[in-house]
Amino acid sequence: MVADTAVNASNQVKEYATVAVTSASSVLQLVLEREDLRLALVGMPTYMHGMITFAAVFLIKAAKSNFLGLTAVDQDQVFTLIQTFGREMRNQSAAPQHLVFHVSNGLDDLMRASLSRSDGQPTPLDSTSSGVPPAPVTMDSIFMFDTFDCFRFPLNSGVPMDAPMADDYQWANQLAQ
């Protein structure tokens, strides 16, 4: 698909594009949130590394061009997410030949090349000011209630990346619609 056809894309395609971006960021957030998945980064098979990297690279490229105009992608949030993810990979304990180290180096380089930042610092995420309730982008939320809810909300949920997740997370806020 080329950028100039994005204006002609139907709403359905745009919805799916949003799902794609949401899913990709869910993959990375899931790995970061769940301790057992984090611990499994060294130990999981090649396929899982391949697909997680696929998600990360897709997000970087989609952020660069707002997914070819199909859906809004928050560059800052993607930048922070990938950075955190790369940091997590580098903190893993394994032989230097392990894939996690190759991937984390490569992602850093790709991000630097793709997302140009003026000050080199990650922008702290500001709460959404659009008045739309924050989008539930994590794994559990997608499958706990109607999937189509996800189509209505933008990617930038306004949740700081270093906020306590999982147990402490205030799900009540999300569910109060």
Partner 1 sequence: MDDQMQRIQTAVNVLLRMSDLPPLSSYSGNSVHGSTPSPGDEERRSEEVDDSQPPAPIMGSVDPVDDKIYGLPIHSLYEVTRLPALRGDEKIASSHHKPTVQNDLVSRNLLPLATAQRFFELFTNRLNYFCYGIMCPHNDLESLRSSSTLLTTAICTVSAMHDPDGSVAFKTCYDEFQRLVASHMFSISLSIDDIRALIIGSYWLPSISSTLIGYTIQVAMRLRYHIAYFAAIKGSQQEAEKARLWYILYILDHYYSILYGHPPLISATEEPHQQWEVFISSTSFSADVTRIMNQVALYSIVAKVRERFGTYSSDRIPEPFLEQLGAYFSEVDRWFMAWANRMRKSAPKRWCCSSPPIFLFQSVQGSN
The binding site for partner 1 (CB under 8 A) comprises 1, 10, 12-13, 16-17, 19-24, 26-27, 30-31, 34, 36-37, 40, 42-52, 54-55, 58, 68, 70, 93-99, 139, 142-143, 147
Nearer Cβ to partner 1 (48/110): 48
Nearer Cβ to partner 1 (112/171): 171
Minimum distance of partner 1 from residue 77's CB (angstroms):
16
Minimum distance of partner 1 from residue 85's CB (angstroms):
14
Minimum distance of partner 1 from residue 67's CB (angstroms):
8
What Cα–Cα distance (Å) separates residue 106 from each residue in 6, 45, 74, 102, 109?
29, 19, 21, 6, 5
d(CA 74, CA 61): 12
Nearer Cβ to partner 1 (16/169): 16
Burial class (CB in 10 A: 0-12, 13-18, 19+), 2: exposed
Minimum distance of partner 1 from residue 102's CB (angstroms):
9
